[in-house]
Amino acid sequence: QVQLVESGGGLVQAGDSLRLSCAASGRTFSSYAMGWFRQALGKEREFVAAISRSGSSTDYANSVKGRFTVFRDNAKNMVYLQMNSLKPEDTAVYYCAAKNDFGHYSDYFRYLYWGQGTQVSVSS
């Protein structure tokens, strides 16, 4: 069982930075790949970033590549999403999720556990 709790969202201006945190319960955190997804108002959920179990591999959506960085600290059971140069189009509810199989990081239906989401709002 994995329980995920997200934090770090807020209201910022374009160009600002935020770091989202996702705290995971349990002793098997390192067994899961972790993903970040977002859903804007009136739009479908979309993949943002993912990181492998060890942190050796990452994937990013093209829309955030070069601006966002996903990293994890398995000793602390934490995964983070550093968001720089935020744009109004980044406004969404952001979710972290856990996945226990290899690959297919962009497929939300392959993730077993989800956080409650945290709102990120970016004004122009």
pLDDT in tens, 92-119: 999 999 998 778 899 999 999 999 999 9
> What sign results for the dihedral spanned by CA atoms 45, 82, 73, 118?
negative
**pLDDT given at position 27:** 76
**Count of alpha carbons within 13 angstroms of residue 77, beta-carbon side:** 12
Interval 1-56: pLDDT, tens: 789 999 999 999 999 999 999 999 977 899 999 999 999 999 999 999 999 999 99
Q: What is the C-alpha separation between 84 and 46, in angstroms, rounded? A: 18
**pLDDT given at position 103:** 81
Residue 123 pLDDT exceeds 90: yes
Number of CB atoms found within 10 A of residue 19's CB:
13
Residue 83: pLDDT band with limits 50, 70, 90: very high
Which candidate, 65, 67, 73, 69, places its Cα nearest to that of 29? 73
